[in-house]
Structure 1
Amino acid sequence: MPRRFRATVDLPVGCDVAFDYLGDPRNRPEWQSSLLSVTLAERGAEPRLGQKWRETTMVGVRPRMEITRFERPHAWAEVGSWRGISATLSLDFEERSTGCRVVAEGEVTGRGPYAAPAALAARLAGVAIGADLRKAGRILARRL
């Protein structure tokens, strides 16, 4: 059974800036706390619908990822899988007077022996993605 998570964060930059930064997998290790590296299937490729990459996390998990929605600057989504675990993440960007609001939603599913770790990951995901998005906001604010 899929476990859902959600986080909402206000960022001090417009939707276009936030989308370009958060939607580019090459930037992920800078703002995503659990991530060590990203290896693009096509080196140097600009972010686009269908782009694929592999992540290496601090705990040794190496999911295969793909952008499944790319509607600049309003909506972005990905799907990832590793062994018996699959996950989705969508980011919706809403313009605000002081920047933009990012609404992150997703779900984590685990099969067989991966059901329990997936449930735990989903329970932690909302808090983690919220913290990571706030970190991205601080990084982007320094670049203003």
Structure 2
Amino acid sequence: MSGFHESIDVDATPDDVWAYVIDPSHLPEWQASAVSAEAVDPGPPDVGSRVRVTRHVGSREMPMTMEYTEYDPPHAWSLQGIDGPVRGRFHGEILPIDEGRRSRVIMDLDFEGKGMGRILVPLVVRRQARKEFPVNERLLKSHLEHGPA
């Protein structure tokens, strides 16, 4: 996956990191563009489960549906956008460090544009993601290490 690649070390166990990042209700806490997020399918997530996310893209709010394409607790997860003009592809990994007392979180993100999204991705979405991705890292680290502000 090309696009954006980030890695952070956090003072939290892989299990604690997993529990936080996999819960869609936390997405707006650590992703600056996320307005809301909720599971679409009942029950615990797995490959094929969907999450509905509304994001600020430029000056608009855009709802989109993401589907898990990988779900390997507490190690890795991947999501793929399945609707809308802008479809994200995200992959996250959680690696234990310091004998499992801390974690390294690796995140990869890219986008595909459909229809009008072909224009939005290079002009708006990638620019916004370039600015937002480091902010999201700091927010994730802060929430995992200190809880909500």
Please tell me the TM-score bracket, short chain as reference: 0.7 to 0.9
TM norm structure 2: 0.81
Q: Return the alpha-carbon distance in structure 2 between the equivalents of residues 84 and 10 of structure 1.
A: 33
SS at match of 2:52: strand
Q: Which residue of 2 aligns with 1:52?
A: 50
Question: Unpaired runs of 5+ in structure 2?
Answer: none
Q: Return the alpha-carbon distance in structure 1 between the equivalents of residues 84 and 47 of structure 2.
A: 23
Q: Which residue of 2 aligns with 1:61?
A: 62
Root-mean-square deviation (CA), in Å?
A: 2.2
Q: Which amino acid aligns with 1:87?
A: G
1:90 and 2:91 correspond? yes
The runs of at least 4 consecutive aligned structure 1 residues that moved more than 4 Å come to: none
- TM-superposition CA deviations, 1:98-141 (whole Å, max 9, x none): 61111111211113432231124234425423321321221121
Q: Which residue of 2 aligns with 1:133?
A: 137
Residues 23, 127 of structure 1: alpha-carbon distance in 2 compared, 3 angstrom cutoff: farther
TM norm structure 1: 0.83
Q: Which amino acid aligns with 2:97?
A: R
1:100 and 2:103 correspond? yes
Q: Which residue of 1 aligns with 2:113?
A: 110
Q: Which residue of 1 aligns with 2:79?
A: 78
Q: Which amino acid aligns with 2:84?
A: R
Shift of 1:37: 1.1
SS at match of 1:37: strand
Q: Return the alpha-carbon distance in structure 2 between the equivalents of residues 8 and 123 of structure 1.
A: 19
The 8 Å contact of residues 25 and 38 in structure 1, kept in 2 or not, is answered as yes
Q: Which amino acid aligns with 2:89?
A: T
User: What is the aligned residue count?
Assistant: 141
The 8 Å contact of residues 34 and 57 in structure 1, kept in 2 or not, is answered as yes
